[in-house]
Amino acid sequence: MPKVLFLDVYLLGLVRSMRIRYVKPGFFVNEQLAECSYAARLLFVGLWCIADREGLLEDKPKKIKALIFPYDTDVNAHELLQELYENELIIRYEVDGEKYVAIPSFAIHQKIHRNEAQSILPGYKNAKFATKVGTRTYQGRYK
């Protein structure tokens, strides 16, 4: 099988696990999001498609890049995730040595299909997560 065809077949399998999500008109004029680079803004929308019904996903930059930027070789998903984190659009956290991403505003802006499976990922209440100066424990209202 040619290399390009193999990549397309592989990505097709991953893309099937993505979900349809809504983009509201306010997204385009969000001042907090405007502080991010164009690539980070596109990544943010792409994360919605990867996230489960609770707005949670695994923090795996290589997989995220493969799903959202499959044909862009110059994209660094880890740096873009960090940019979104520093602009307080996502939370990066760790539970039992596994890393995750949470989108705190997810439930406010998304209408979840009734047949979408329940989340199997741990929430970020009492989880350790990275900050600009170290680690701290989140004691917020999200699970």
CA-to-CA distance for 116 and 13, rounded, in angstroms? Answer: 18
pLDDT tens digits in sequence order for the chain, 143 residues long = 445 444 444 444 444 567 666 677 777 778 888 999 999 999 999 998 898 888 899 999 999 999 999 999 999 999 999 999 999 999 999 988 899 999 888 767 666 667 767 777 888 775 665 544 344 444 433 33
Note the pLDDT of residue 48: 87
Cβ atoms of residues 109 and 21 within 8 Å: no
Note the pLDDT of residue 128: 61
CA-to-CA distance for 122 and 2, rounded, in angstroms? Answer: 39
Note the pLDDT of residue 79: 97
CA-to-CA distance for 124 and 50, rounded, in angstroms? Answer: 17
Tokens of 20: 């349809």
Residue 95: in which H helix or E strand, if any? strand 91-95
8: Cβ–Cβ under 8 A, 6 or more apart, which residues? none
Tokens of 27: 């997204």
Kindly tell me the burial class for residue 74, based on how many C-beta atoms sit within 10 Å of its own C-beta (0-12, 13-18, 19 or more): exposed
Note the pLDDT of residue 136: 44
